[in-house]
Amino acid sequence: MAKSETCLINLSYQDGSEGSPSNPAKFKNQDFAQIKADYIRKGGQLFEDNEFPPNGCSLGDLPDMSPSEESGVKWLRPADLLREQGKKDKPAFCTDGMSRFDFGQGKVGNCWFLSAISALTFQKNLMAQVVPMDQSFEDYAGIFHFRFWRFGKWIDVVIDDYLPTINKQLLSVSSKCGNEFWAPLLEKAYAKVCGSYADMRGGSSSEACKDFTGGVNQIYHPTEANAPSCDELWLTLSRATKCKSLICCGTLHKKDALANTGLVDGHAYSVTGITEVELNGSKVRLVRVMNPWGKQEWNGKWSDKSDLWDKVSPEVRKKCCKRNDGEFWMQMEDFCSYFAKVSICCETPNFLDGDLKCQWNCRIYDGSWVAGKSAGGDVNHPTFATNPQYRIQVTVIDKKEPGDKNIVLSLMEKPQQGNRKEIRLDRYGLNIYKIPPGTPQGRLQQDFFQRNRPVKAEKTYSSERDHIELHSLEPGEYVIIPSTYKPNITADFTLAVFTKTDK
């Protein structure tokens, strides 16, 4: 992995340990290097993945396809697909770098995933971690691999290159170049992790961004009553851009509200840039947005065809590319009106306050709630103290900045069978208590929680995949208690604790 440009002291990985960025765990215990070497040694025989076979089980039940269409799905390797299309081109893994313009969405409703890929293409270090760049159709054995961060660990996912097609076209994401296959293969690897292609249908871009970075997610809702102002969101987008964040957004689920705008309702997009331009002596803030369809664009102010571009300087006018590629500019005020959700994901929490020099420690804990043993429920239950407990030291807070957020917590419940569509068993959340000096080490008993008030008590338990909290805590020792709302719920979880450091 290329050296990171972020300021993160990651204490959760021993250098080179399994699950670290340099040594990802082998998903399904499949060793890419070993399998590929075995097939090359055999000569002429190509790998077929028994863990994710080219059949209907891997495709899943796609509700947008009729039974006759499903029966017409044919799994083809890239070279065979090009041959059936009558093309003489040889398949390529990547031609001339990886770009948001390389691909377009297919018949699987996974715009959330593709918008995250669009955002990922801007961050070359992260892209190289997710998509190993030493892959090609040379030295070919029908096998490829990709890496994702899953619940505290990086995993290496092996796939064969059979892709679902219908009528000689790729069923899902396709390459605009025709013979380039990195995007369809990346999608297949993620489908394998999710359970099937159908299990990728519907989701949040923040989920995929988390799996591309292992970083910190924050979600904003511009159209809600208590949302940050347009000015505040602009400042956040500016900080996030400087911190090399992945930024995605989603439109309102209201068809009427988006009528005649060119925007698709309930659809995921990526934010690919921001800028300020001068018009009639005033500054105008613009956001560049990408539709993962690779077409259909905003048609309002500052769109590709807007005459406002004729009123700015020639240098500014170059920013407008008048082509139907799915990417467009829009004014910040319009962006806040039509996009109901903005998600930002970064390797570090620095985008939250824009302090690019700040360093963070990160510790990741794997834990479990076990019914009758360590699933005590919320603080109102007499078994609360049986929940997992994590004692941490807070050493740094910026006294010059009121309310400095020096602690970021991320709690993720793991699906029991590894399938992302699996229904979560219960709502869950976090409680935080400050530990008085002199308190003995070890587990805290129920009387401690009866005597002491929490610094932060969970009021609204979440069912989100990634429950994020930001806190301003004075230096001292604290205990973090993850719990389900009801007791005796068995589930596994991952807790990530980011703390500011003075190093």
Q: Are 278 and 307 in contact (CB under 8 A)?
A: no
pLDDT category of residue 426 using cuts at 50, 70 and 90: confident
**Do 177 and 58 have their domain in common?**
yes
Which pLDDT score, from 0 to 100, does residue 11 have?
A: 59
Q: Are 134 and 93 in contact (CB under 8 A)?
A: no
CATH of the domain at 238: 3.90.70.10
**Do 179 and 76 have their domain in common?**
yes
Structure tokens at 371: 């019914």
Q: Which among 94, 110, 111, 467 is annotated as catalytic?
A: 111
**Do 188 and 237 have their domain in common?**
no
Work out how many domains the chain is built from and give that number.
Answer: 3
Asked which of 206, 227, 256 is the last residue of a domain, the reply is 206
Q: How far is CA 115 from the centre of its chain?
A: 10
Structure tokens at 141: 């054995």
Give the three-class secondary structure for 247.
strand
Query: Mean pLDDT over all residues of the chain?
Result: 89
**Do 273 and 406 have their domain in common?**
no
Q: Which among 217, 291, 361, 387 is annotated as catalytic?
A: 291
Helix (H) or strand (E) holding 96: none
Q: Which among 177, 243, 267, 320 is annotated as catalytic?
A: 267
**Do 200 and 275 have their domain in common?**
no
**Do 379 and 259 have their domain in common?**
no
pLDDT category of residue 192 using cuts at 50, 70 and 90: very high
pLDDT category of residue 487 using cuts at 50, 70 and 90: very high
Least confident among 17-21, 174-178, 325-329: 174-178
Which pLDDT score, from 0 to 100, does residue 274 have?
A: 96
Q: Are 195 and 27 in contact (CB under 8 A)?
A: no
In a domain, 3, yes or no: no
Question: Is residue 4 pLDDT above 60, yes or no?
Answer: no
Question: How much is the average pLDDT of 465-485?
Answer: 93
Which pLDDT score, from 0 to 100, does residue 316 have?
A: 85
pLDDT category of residue 421 using cuts at 50, 70 and 90: low
Q: How far apart are CA 313 and CA 278, in angstroms?
A: 8
Asked which of 206, 235, 256 is the last residue of a domain, the reply is 206
**Do 425 and 492 have their domain in common?**
yes
In a domain, 211, yes or no: no
Q: Which domain holds residue 438?
A: 358-501
Which pLDDT score, from 0 to 100, does residue 5 have?
A: 41
pLDDT category of residue 425 using cuts at 50, 70 and 90: low
Question: Is residue 433 pLDDT above 90, yes or no?
Answer: yes
**Do 16 and 150 have their domain in common?**
yes
Which pLDDT score, from 0 to 100, does residue 418 have?
A: 64
111 is catalytic: yes
* Contacts by residues 422-427 (CB-CB < 8 Å, ≥ 24 positions apart): 424/463, 424/491, 425/484, 425/489, 425/490, 425/491, 426/461, 426/463, 426/484, 426/485, 426/486, 426/489, 426/491, 427/461, 427/462, 427/463, 427/484, 427/485
In a domain, 460, yes or no: yes
Backbone phi and psi for residue 92, each to the nearest 5 degrees, phi listed first? -130, 145
Burial degree of 466 (CB within 10 A; 0-12, 13-18, 19+): buried
Strands 25-26 and 153-160: parallel
In a domain, 351, yes or no: no
CA-to-CA dists, residue 172 to 71, 77, 185, angstroms? 16, 14, 11
CATH of the domain at 368: 2.60.120.380
pLDDT category of residue 3 using cuts at 50, 70 and 90: very low
In a domain, 38, yes or no: yes
